[in-house]
């Protein structure tokens, strides 16, 4: 069915729908329906391509026309297990590396750090590249920790890392601003952070 016909059918259905009480409702519902239609078509296309490739491979396997290539032991690659402390966040990390460690962390391999002398698992952070972060962190050095405008910044090797969510040792997970609120004298001063 052509796109224009699909849109016309959706348009006619929505104009008679009691749930569309305003133009905004109409636009929202029509956009959602078009998106779902797109996903349905994409899913069908991917299923068809995948099924075709699988059928072709099975037929070639049955005919014996697939050439098997043995992989030598020198060509085998594998990933080492994550070691204890490998995902710990360090001031010497570049901010993007620290973010990658935090995203890769889980309960078995946490992204740990010491913030103002307190052990925490850093659960969510981002590279702070906005103007406010640049102003707040101007002149700071690797390992400095500041709390400005309800945002917690830990200086890495190349710039600030904004810590957004952490879990202090022995406590529940909390937003970084709640954590910072529990550190006496954090406002207006520069503290330190380090690896565990």
Residues in CB range of 191: below 8 A, 6 or more apart? 115, 116, 144, 145, 146, 183
pLDDT per residue of the chain (196 residues) written in tens, 0 to 9: 566 777 677 667 666 666 556 666 667 777 777 788 888 888 888 888 888 888 888 888 888 888 777 777 787 787 788 788 889 999 999 999 999 999 999 988 899 999 999 999 999 999 998 999 999 999 999 999 999 999 999 999 999 999 999 999 999 999 999 999 999 888 889 999 999 8
Please, how many CA atoms are within 13 Å of residue 20, restricted to the half-sphere of its CB?
16
SS (H, E, C) 26-45: HHHHHHHHHHHHHHHHHHHH
Give CA separation, 9 vs 23, 24, 26, in Å: 17, 19, 14
The single residue listed with the structure tokens 């014996």 is: 64
User: Which residue matches tokens 């200086």?
Assistant: 155
pTM: 0.60
**Dihedral angle computed from the Cα positions of residues 115, 121, 127 and 131, in that order, rounded to the nearest 10 degrees:** -50
Distance of CA 7 to the CA centre of its chain: 34
Q: Give CA–CA dist 155/192, Å, rounded.
A: 9
Measure the CA dihedral 190/188/183/153, to 10°: -60
């Amino acid at each position: 069915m052509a796109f224009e016909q699909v849109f016309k059918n959706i348009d006619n259905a929505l104009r008679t729908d009691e749930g569309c009480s305003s133009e905004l409702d109409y636009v929202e519902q029509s956009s959602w329906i078009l998106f779902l239609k797109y996903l349905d078509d994409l899913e069908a296309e991917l299923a068809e391509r995948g099924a075709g490739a699988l059928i072709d491979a099975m037929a070639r396997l049955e005919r014996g026309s697939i050439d098997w290539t043995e992989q030598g032991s020198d060509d085998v690659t594998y990933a080492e297990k994550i070691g204890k402390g490998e995902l710990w966040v360090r001031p010497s990390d570049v901010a993007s590396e620290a973010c990658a460690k935090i995203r890769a962390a889980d309960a078995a391999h946490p992204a740990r750090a010491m913030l103002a002398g307190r052990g925490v698992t850093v659960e969510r952070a981002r590279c702070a590249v906005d103007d406010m972060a640049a102003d707040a962190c101007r002149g700071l050095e690797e390992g400095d920790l500041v709390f400005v405008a309800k945002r917690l910044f830990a200086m890495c090797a190349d710039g600030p890392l904004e810590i957004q969510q952490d879990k202090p040792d022995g406590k529940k997970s909390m937003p970084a601003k709640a954590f910072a609120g529990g550190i006496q004298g954090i406002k207006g001063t520069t503290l330190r952070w380090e690896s565990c």
